[in-house]
Structure 1
Amino acid sequence: MFPDIAYLDWISGRPEAATHDLGSSDLRRAVPDANGVVPPRIADLPEPPERADVETLVADAYDVEPENVLVTAGATHANFLALAAAIEGEEVNDESDERDPRVLVEEPGYEPLVATPEGLGATIDRFRRPDEDGYALDPNRIAAAVTDDVRCVVVTNRHNPSGNRTDRGTIAEASRVAADRGAHLLVDEVYAPFGEADDASAFGGPTAVGLPNTVVTNSLTKFLGFGGIRVGWLVADSRFVERARSVMHHVPAISEPSVALARRALSSDTELAEESRARVAANRGLLATFVAERDDLSGAVCPGCTYGFFAHESADGDEVSEAAWEEDVLIVPGRFFDDSDRFRLSLGHETETVEEGLAIFGTVLDRL
């Protein structure tokens, strides 16, 4: 039923095997030693308030009620639950609408956001975010592609793989377009906090939380850098959250130790966010300089973003990735994001580490 996800098959084990990881986009922090379970940075944080559960901490960050939050085992789990709830629709036993469900997904885009709804039985349609427009989200393109059969429209903000960040006004218009057709808008916001914050919280990027018929997903992985904890969430109206919760009964996956670690991280989110934004600023500068100094590369480095989608003048994405891998440098080929001519370059690790990796990657490109 569920198709293979080629990107996840390909990336498995590679970040750990690479000497220089320029493929992983999360702002990765130090991991526990072989016999430990607590990330070193969390071990130094104060204990959270006793009554501060994860739902409440996330709700406070977005200025919503806890009933609007469902805590999940990471953003992938949150996206699965959101898509399943949207495809299922309001009434599980309502047989009045016999049309096959459809899901409309941005292109280029992140492969799992196509494969998951397909595995859930939906027909997939696509709308373009063209490179000639800077991969901008255009609600008019959604309006031209959405039909009455569409149950969910799926976008990322920041866009994965380009890094384009959409303002709330544009997302609100996309939400209206989806709502007019009776569809939900799913906004994966794992990269939205990259760059300058709209507010003081850890998740202060432009958010779609609170817009009609809109579901937002996020996690502790990309911006705060605690991927090993495997805690994420979705935020939506309370009725949608309850539908997603009913789906979650079939795929429960959150451990109590993960919840405890998430409570500690979220209780110090402002402090952790400051550290993440400092790394984003430094690494974005490295990326922008590297791309600007190379005549053989094309592609934009978006403000405040540590990753981008680039093309080489004489090699496609697989050729660039394979040549880099021969030097133990991890680069992600663009075929996993609907464009085989390009590759995604991501500077998520500590600045000194990625600077060394860029120097080696530069010699790889010189030989192509």
Structure 2
Amino acid sequence: MIGRDAPARAPIYDIRDFAAFGRSLYRHMPLPAEASILFESTVAEPERLLARLVADAFASPVTDRFESVFGRGNPYLLAALAQRYGVDEQCILPTTGVCNGVAQVLAGLVAPGDHVLVETPGFDVLSDLARLAGAEVELLPRTGDAFAFDLDDLRARLKPDTRLVIITNLHNPSGHHLDEKALQALAGVAATVGAHVLVDEVYADFAGDAGYLPAARLAPNLISVNSLTKVFGLFSLRCGWIFTTRALARRIANASAGREFGVSKLTHAIGALVVENPAPFEAHWRSVLTQSRPVVERHLAAMRADELIEGELPPYGCIAFPKVVGHADTRRLAEVLWRDHDIVTAPGEFFGQAGHMRLGFGVPAPAIDRGLAKLHEALSALRRSGSPSVSRPAATR
């Protein structure tokens, strides 16, 4: 176990939101070898594949995909995205990752004071971006075992000045999937007040062997944002995009023209090569999850059998959001798990739902196996003790 006075034992849960927690944690990297990180939701970076691709692309002669992006973006990437996802090239806007795409959509659709609904539990950055755009943000609950939307609740929350509903699919933090029928139903309700639905699809490629159908293809008021970050593990590229209608693409581009001076020529050239030939990168994430998901299923089943957690592993992806039995304050639990058991978790409070824990398993299976075994042991020990705080005083805030 890590020495209690070591620098790495400094509190890491003295921050209230998930994005800031992640940045703070990585400032403590590398963590001691004993530490287990159980919230990583990005597939392990395919460093060798990326290195080989870059080396080949910039050997002599340099790839012709290294093209100017000033204007509409890398033309090869746009063409490859259009072919892969079945969209019109004129309906695609390149972005520097998904968050940049969300910010651009907000700039195009939302004026200060406009009403925006953002799902909860959810990724806090989405509501933060809406507030930064000047929106009046209201949370839209996702409920039940599958974290579905109640359409009647959505209708009740819509206002004449509701401009946007922001959701994720696959859902972050639960990993649950909304099918085409559910997305079309959401779009139909939002359309009654002229609102658009922005769907963060950064995990969506997990949900189909032949590729998923972007929400933007299902209804004119559905907008998709996606990137190569999560599924492909290519977060270093910051290569993302927006899918929408032609008219709205022009509107968003015009609204962002004064603040958005273009994506990276370098990383979007690499992105074009990835999307043109995705098979090696898809094989990588499939290999990671083929190995890790059975491990996670086994451990979750064992913890459910011991009545330590509730909730099933979603059918796709590398995140889950089980309820932790007997721990309404999962932030406090997270502090104890880190301080006394060398386990780093993401408490439900970071996503707006205390009592849950977001687990991420995009890393190699042996690390997940060790970490979940430690979690099982720690939760069992805490239940036997009757309190998560009996062994040591609370962490300093």
With over 3 angstroms needed to count, the CA separation of the structure-2 counterparts of 1:46 and 1:329, relative to structure 1, is farther
CA contact (8 A) 2:85 2:213 kept: no
Pair 1:333 & 2:347 matched: yes
- Give the match's secondary structure for 1:187: strand
User: Does the residue aligned with 1:135 lie in a helix, a strand or coil?
Assistant: coil
Please state if 1:182 is matched with 2:198.
no
Pick one of 350, 354, 361 that aligns with 2:364.
350
How far apart are the structure 2 equivalents of 1:324 and 1:261?
A: 40
One-letter amino acid matched to 1:274: A
**Pick aligned residue for 1:71 from 69, 94, 103:** 94
RMSD: 2.5
User: Is the aligned partner of 1:87 residue 2:110?
Assistant: yes
Q: 1:182 to 1:46 in 2, by over 3 A?
A: same
- Deviation readout 1:160-208 (Å, 9 max, x if unpaired): 11111011111011111112211111011111122443x2xxxx13431
Which amino acid in 2 is paired with 1:243? R
Identity %: 26
Deviations 1:346-366 (A, max 9, x none): 101122232222223333323
Change (3 A) 1:30 1:193: closer
**Structure 1 length as normaliser, TM-score?**
0.85
Question: Could you tell me which residue of structure 2 aligns to residue 96 of structure 1?
Answer: none
Distance in 2 between residues matched to 1:251 and 1:228, nearest whole Å: 19
Distance 1:148 1:311 in 2: 36
1:62–1:345: structure 2 CA closer, same or farther, 3 Å change rule? same
Equivalent residues of 1:137, 1:166 under 8 A apart: no
Instruction: Classify 1:314/1:44 alpha carbon distance in 2 versus 1 (closer, same or farther; 3 Å).
Output: farther
Q: SS where residue 105 of structure 1 aligns?
A: strand
- Alpha-carbon deviation of 1:39? 3.5
Q: Deviations over 1:282-335 (max 9, x none)?
A: 322222211110121112211123211122223332133223323443211111
Matched, 1:207 2:211: no
Give the number of the structure whose alpha-carbon radius of gyration is greater.
Answer: 2
1:1-40 correspondence to structure 2 within 5 Å: 6-14=17-25, 16-18=29-31, 19-31=35-47, 39-40=50-51
Q: Which moved more, 1:226-235 or 1:105-114?
A: 105-114
In 2, distance between residues paired with 1:45 and 1:308?
37
CA contact (8 A) 1:5 1:115 kept: no
1:268 aligns with 2:281: no
Any conservation in 1 of the 2:107–2:256 contact (CA below 8 Å)?
no
Q: Which runs of 4+ in 1 moved over 4 A?
A: 43-52
- Within the candidate set 118, 128, 145, 1:105 is matched to 118
Residue 45 of structure 1, CA deviation = 7.1
Match of 2:310 in 1: 298
Which ranges of structure 1 fall in alignment gaps of 5 or more residues? 33-37, 89-98
Distance 1:114 1:258, change over 3 A: same
Say how many residue pairs are matched.
344
Deviation, structure 1 residue 228: 1.0
Distance 1:41 1:29 in 2: 13
Judge conservation of contact 2:176–2:316 (CA < 8 Å) in 1: no
Tell me the distance in 1 between the aligned counterparts of 2:18 and 2:78.
Answer: 31
Q: Provide the rounded CA distance (Å) in 2 between the counterparts of 1:228 and 1:328.
A: 28
Distance 1:336-1:252 versus aligned 2 partners, 3 A rule: farther
Summarize the Cα distance change of 1:58–1:138 in structure 2 as closer, same or farther, 3 Å threshold. farther
